């Protein structure tokens, strides 16, 4: 049996009635991914007429520490099997730091394991992860230097920084908001992000990662920060949405969520080295 391919290698076939089903694997305490992604795809539907539904499986995780994150990883394959029962077209593993806690380039093995579980369950699907999506999207954008904001404690932020830098992207500054409780992360006010972004060390930056966490709300601030600072702004959630669209073969047409999802970045000329 061949090994299932990841979202960047496989194009899933949309349902014949103009409907795509999106599977999510999220931490049990996540309250943001199931609000921001449906809102993004609602805007995509407004622009294109295509419809999207979301179907979630939850893996236990309350506190954002390495022990609970690694325990969550062990549950990913079971979650993939259960969510694939909904005959989803694509699956997104929506916990960035759980994957990055496993070490450099861990998203490759995580995505392959999830794809394998779905295939063995009889419902193969394209697969992405928020960790892989963030790294690959930055690479596709040609971003060599970034500044980022995380809600994590400083040791976890440093781990995320090293993971991104291991992919060849320099992190000029990584701000830690130091919120260990995952429910509390979901209650952070995204309206505070513009001021935080203004104070980032961003000289020479090619992009800003406004939220390196799918649980930290950021969608209401993405376009405002991009407009103010004149740099592309992405988040773990918008990068994941971008890769979901790619896996479905759909062109991004999402308004008010940054140039990545509006489709504007794809119209820019290739950067000359």
227 labelled binding-site residue: no
What beta strand segments (E) does 194-255 contain? Answer: 207-211, 233-235
CA distance 161 to 172: 10
Which tens digit of pLDDT belongs to each residue from 73-129? 567 888 999 999 999 999 999 988 888 888 888 899 889 999 999 999 999 999 999
Q: Which class for 162: exposed (0-12), middle (13-18), buried (19 or more C-beta within 10 A)?
A: middle
The reported pLDDT for the residue numbered 73 is 59
96 labelled binding-site residue: yes
The reported pLDDT for the residue numbered 10 is 44
CA distance 110 to 6: 10
223 labelled binding-site residue: no
* Residues identified as active-site: 95, 213
CA distance 210 to 107: 21
- Residue 125 tokens read as 């699907």
Q: Where are the domains of the chain?
A: 19-131+238-255, 133-235
CA distance 39 to 145: 29
Fold topology of 133-235 = Rossmann fold (3.40.50)
The reported pLDDT for the residue numbered 58 is 86
Residue 37 pLDDT > 50, yes or no? Answer: yes
What integer best gives the mean pLDDT of the chain?
A: 88
What beta strand segments (E) does 45-159 contain? Answer: 51-59, 90-93, 126-129, 145-150
Is the overall model pTM greater than 0.95, yes or no?
no
What is the CATH architecture of 19-131+238-255?
3-Layer(aba) Sandwich (3.40)
């Amino acid at each position: 049996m061949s090994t299932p391919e990841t979202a960047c290698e496989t194009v899933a076939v949309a349902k014949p009635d103009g409907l795509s089903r999106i599977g999510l694997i999220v931490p049990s305490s996540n309250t943001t991914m199931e609000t921001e992604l449906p809102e993004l795809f609602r805007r995509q539907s407004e622009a294109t007429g295509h419809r999207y539904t979301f179907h979630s499986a939850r893996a236990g995780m309350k506190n954002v520490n390495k022990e609970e994150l690694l325990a969550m990883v062990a549950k990913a394959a079971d979650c993939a099997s259960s969510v694939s029962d909904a005959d989803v077209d694509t699956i997104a593993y929506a916990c960035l730091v759980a994957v990055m806690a496993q070490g450099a380039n861990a998203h490759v093995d995580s995505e392959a394991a999830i794809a394998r579980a779905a295939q063995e369950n009889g419902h193969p699907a394209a697969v992405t992860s928020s960790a892989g999506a963030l790294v690959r999207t930055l690479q596709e954008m040609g971003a060599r230097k970034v500044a980022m904001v995380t809600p994590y404690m400083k040791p976890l932020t440093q781990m995320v920084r090293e993971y991104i830098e291991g992919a060849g992207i320099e992190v000029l500054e990584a701000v830690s908001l130091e919120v260990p409780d995952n429910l509390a992360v979901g209650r952070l006010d995204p309206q505070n992000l513009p001021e935080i972004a203004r104070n980032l060390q961003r000289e020479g930056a090619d992009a800003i990662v406004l939220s390196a966490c799918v649980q930290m709300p950021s969608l209401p601030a993405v376009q405002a920060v991009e407009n103010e600072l004149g740099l592309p702004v992405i988040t773990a959630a918008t990068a994941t949405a971008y890769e979901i669209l790619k896996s479905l073969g759909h062109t991004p047409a999402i308004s008010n969520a940054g140039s990545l999802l509006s489709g504007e970045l794809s119209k820019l000329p290739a950067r000359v080295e």
